[in-house]
Amino acid sequence: MRAKEQILHELQANMFSDGRCNDQAREAIRLTFHDAVGRSHTLNDSGSFGGGGADGSIIKFADTELADIGNTGLEDIVLALKDFADNHNVSYGDIIQFSGAVGLANCPGSPRLTFYAGRPDAIAPSPPGLVPAPTDPADVLLARMSDAGFTPEETVVLLAAHSVAKQKAVDPSVPNVPLDSTPEVFDTKFYSEMLLNGTCYPGKGSSPAEVKSPSKNVMRLTSDAAIAQHASTASTWRSFAGNHDVMRAAFREVMHKLATQDHADLVDCSFVIPTPALLMRPPAVRPNTENL
C-alpha cells in the first residue's frame, strides 16, 4: 500500500470511525480553516510577519495559538494530528489539510476537495487575533477575512462548513449541539434555517457568541447571524438556501484557495481523497393537476 493510501486507511480507521462523519471529522474540518486563516496582508505590507496560512503552525506552536479565543475547543484534534503526523513523517500543514478533506468526504453531500502536498514546516506562530470569533460583528469579521484574502461572497461560502458543525465551547452546558438540524450531512439547511426567526436558546442563552435559534436543538452563532443579514453578504447567503449543487461547487473552489494560498510547488495528490456519498434527497412532490 502506498504511503498516502496507508495514511488514509489509518485516519479512517483510528480517527473517523471507519469513514464516518463523526465528531473528530468535524474537528478536522474546523482545523483546516483555523490554521489557514492565519495570514494578514496588512501585517506583511507593514514589514511584520503576517502568518503562513495553511502551514501547520497551529500544531507546531500549539501553546501559543491555542491561547487565541477563536481556537477554543481545538486542543484534542491538534494533539491527535500532531501524534499522527510525527508517526508518519508528514508535515503539520499537510496533515491538517489532508485530514480535513478526508473528514469532509465522510459527510454525505459534500464536495470532493482537492489535496495538494508539500507544505514546509511553519517558521513562526500565526500572529494573535487573526482567527474570527463567534462574537464578531459582521463588519469586523469581513474586514478580517478581506485581510486574509477573501471576499464577502467567499466568506459566506466558507461558512458552509457549519452545515456539519457542532459547538462545544459557546455553551458548555449543552455540548455537541449542532449549528443546523442535519449535522450528519453536508446540505443547505444551515443557510435556509438561518433565515427563520429565532425564538429560543438550546441552553442557558447567556453567551454573547449566540443568538436565538428557531429550535432548541440547534445553536445559532452571533457571527453567522450577522453575516446572513449584512448588506454585502445577505444576497449570497439567500442564494445558497436550497441550492445544494451551487453551494457544493463553490465550497470546493474556495476551500482549494484557502488550503493553497502562499504555497508554491505543491503536488496534486487529490486522487487519494475518497469520493463522498451523494446527498439522499427526498423524492420530488408532484402537484396534483387532476382537478385543474
173 is in an annotated binding site: no
Tell me which residue of 208, 217, 139, 213 sits closest to 169, measured CA to CA: 208
For CA atoms 176, 181, 186, 192, the dihedral sign is negative
Q: Are the C-beta atoms of 90 and 257 separated by less than 8 Å?
A: no
Closest CA to 211 of 259, 166, 241, 179: 179
Whether residue 41 lies in the annotated active site: no
35 labelled ligand-binding: yes
> What do you get for the CA distance between the two ends of the chain, in Å?
63
DSSP string over 144-187: HHHHTT--HHHHHHHGGGGGG-EESSS-TTSTTEESSS-TTS--
> Cell for 267?
503536488
- Which DSSP category does 260 fall into? H
Is 57 within any annotated ligand binding site? yes
Distance, in Å, from the CA atom of 98 to the CA atom of 29, rounded to the nearest integer, reads 10
Cell numbers linked to 40 = 494578514
Choosing from 9, 34, 88, 230, the catalytic residue is: 34
Taking the C-alpha atoms of residue 28 and residue 44, their distance in angstroms, rounded to an integer, is 28
Question: Positive or negative CA dihedral for 148, 153, 157, 159?
Answer: positive
Is 94 marked as binding a ligand? Answer: no
Is 46 assigned a ligand-binding role in the annotation? no
Question: Quick one: which of 56, 30, 83 has its CA closest to 263?
Answer: 56
Where does 19-171 show beta strands of DSSP type E?
116-117, 166-167
Q: For the packed helices 138-147 and 222-229, what is the interaxial angle rounded to 10 degrees?
A: 90
Give me the residue label for grid cell 514546516: 121
Q: Which residues are annotated as a binding site?
A: 35, 53, 55, 57, 162-163, 180, 182, 187
Active site residues: 34
Q: Which residues are annotated as a binding site for heme b?
A: 162
Q: Which residues are annotated as a binding site for Ca(2+)?
A: 35, 53, 55, 57, 163, 180, 182, 187
